[in-house]
Amino acid sequence: MKDQKLISKAREILNNNYQEKGFTIPCQGLYPFQWNWDSGFIAIGFAHFDMEKAKKEIKTLIDSQWSNGFIPHIIFHNESDTYFPGSEFHQSSLSPLVVNKVPTTGMTQPHVLGFTLERMYHIAENKEDITAFIKTTIDAVYEYSLYFYKHRDPLDEGLVYIYHNWESGTDNSPIWDDIWNTMKSPEYKFERRDTTHVDASQRPSNEEYNHYLHIIEIAKAHNYNDEKIAELSPFLIQDPLFNTVLIASNQSLIRLYELIGGNEDKIATLKQLTEKSIQSFNDKLYDEELKAYCHYDLRNKKLLRYTSSSSFAPLFAEIPDQKRAEELVGTLMDKFGNEDQYMCASFDPTHERYKPKQYWRGPVWINLNWLLYHGLNKYGYNTIAQRVKDDSIEILEKNGFYEYFDARKEEHKNNTAGYGGNNFSWSAALLIDLLSE
Ligand code: GLC
């Protein structure tokens, strides 16, 4: 009964956030356009009760693909003055690779599309219909995967870089502070819009925004050319979350191609890339002392030695072997698993940079919990996985469908520990999916 109520509220949120043009906004006011990885999670939610909308979500996102396979992070389907920086700042039309005229950003986000398609396949009751849909979309998703290896892997390691913190999905993670310390960015004149919707103390600072804008200016000065960006961007990171999600999507694409038949060459390419990626991932991104996966700073050639919720994402793509997984889960429980905390804080709660109310500097996010839940189950850590699932459901039930949540249980006493946007789409979508298990 309780679950049914939550599910119907979640469905209502998704339906309300769904737009006529065939995509779903993350939430009203704060995020009024289509976001790349949000769309994947949203489609998984819709697949449980309205497959047509789920398919449309994916189709609309794929329609923004550039001729080199790239899919942008925001698609500006409509005008809105509630968001900065909007389409006129990003100027995607500078790139000669743009195909569709709808303006976008010139950066991307974690590639969730492969495993989104696979999840939709499993949820679908009508397998014939979903198979037909997959046949019409899978090659675009495959091209998106290949884009990364062709254009974002300068050392040919099977590890791809992101050139902007907004590509990571974890916008203001304390890990990026190390990069900001290497940069001298101009002070731009701009009018923030996010802080009119949400308390400024919970958002990135203006100084951080100067860095965010500066990197985009560098990319724009070179018409979003990847080779130039790799040469010049002060931010060039091999992110364990980003690479995990890409690898997981490749693994899903392999299984889906096998299912629909043919395409042996693509399967072989994906297998070869994935194997190489996993090898390099384990060689390069694991810190033996922290016993956790970390971010590698390709510009300054060093590992950024911090533990965050991204450190445990690799379980989702079965990147560690069982022994390393054991060690990693030990770190997870030591640092993030205290009984007075909900799992899983986005940044190391024992670290001085931890900020429990500030966006990606500490709070719990439902999409990272969803990845962690599935990752833990893959290695047989079912009890911990169940805790991550129960915690996710409990915080949503207590506080509502917010964007992120304080991890400290005492803060939930009055059911006001949800922050950022309310009626947030992926929190709703993934709750539906978690409760379907
Ligand atoms: C914030 C999040 C990002 C998300 C976007 C839209 O920028 O950090 O991950 O995609 O909001 O919800």
Q: SS3 for 237?
A: strand
Residue 31 CA, closest ligand 1 atom number: 6
Rg (CA), the chain: 20
- Supply the residue whose CA is at minimum distance from atom 2 of ligand 1: 169
**Residue 433 · residue 377 · CB < 8 Å:** no
Rounded Cα–Cα distance for residues 41 and 329 (Å): 25
177 labelled catalytic = no
Q: Which of 12-16, 94-98, 189-193 has the lowest mean pLDDT?
A: 189-193
DSSP string, 167-205: HHS-TT-GGGHHHHTT----------SHHHHS-GGGS--
**Residue 325 · residue 333 · CB < 8 Å:** no
Q: Does 32 have pLDDT greater than 80? A: yes
Query: What distance in angstroms lies between residue 182's CA and the mean position of ligand 1's atoms?
Result: 25
Rounded Cα–Cα distance for residues 114 and 163 (Å): 22
Among the listed residues 38, 403, 406, 433, the single catalytic one is 403
Rounded Cα–Cα distance for residues 155 and 23 (Å): 36
286-338, pLDDT tens digit by residue?
Answer: 999 999 999 999 999 999 999 999 999 999 999 999 999 999 999 999 999 99
Rounded Cα–Cα distance for residues 159 and 297 (Å): 12
From 23, 34, 38, give the residue whose CB has the most ligand 1 atoms within 8 Å, as the site to mutate. 38
Residue 36 CA, closest ligand 1 atom number: 10
**Residue 361 · residue 347 · CB < 8 Å:** yes
Sign of CA dihedral 333, 336, 340, 344: negative
Run of H or E residues at 127? helix 127-151
Tokens 């949540």 correspond to: 405
Query: What distance in angstroms lies between residue 422's CA and the mean position of ligand 1's atoms?
Result: 13
Check pocket membership of 169 for ligand 1, CB cut-off 6 A: yes
Q: What CA–CA distances, in Å, run from 208 to 50, 346, 426?
A: 39, 19, 25
- Supply the residue whose CA is at minimum distance from atom 4 of ligand 1: 169
Rounded Cα–Cα distance for residues 260 and 223 (Å): 38
134-170, pLDDT tens digit by residue?
Answer: 999 999 999 999 999 999 999 999 999 999 999 999 9
Check pocket membership of 41 for ligand 1, CB cut-off 6 A: no
Tokens 């396949």 correspond to: 121
Q: Is 380 left (phi over 0), alpha (psi -120 to 50) or beta?
A: left
Rounded Cα–Cα distance for residues 241 and 366 (Å): 14
pTM of the full structure: 0.98
**Residue 65 · residue 143 · CB < 8 Å:** yes
pLDDT of the residue at 2: 83
Number of residues in the chain:
437
pLDDT of the residue at 411: 98
171 labelled catalytic = yes
Query: What distance in angstroms lies between residue 305's CA and the mean position of ligand 1's atoms?
Result: 24
Among the listed residues 50, 63, 171, 177, the single catalytic one is 171
From 171, 172, 347, give the residue whose CB has the most ligand 1 atoms within 8 Å, as the site to mutate. 171
Rounded Cα–Cα distance for residues 37 and 367 (Å): 10
- Average pLDDT score over the chain: 97
What is the distance of C-alpha 236 from the center of its chain?
Answer: 17
- Supply the residue whose CA is at minimum distance from atom 3 of ligand 1: 169
**Residue 291 · residue 327 · CB < 8 Å:** yes
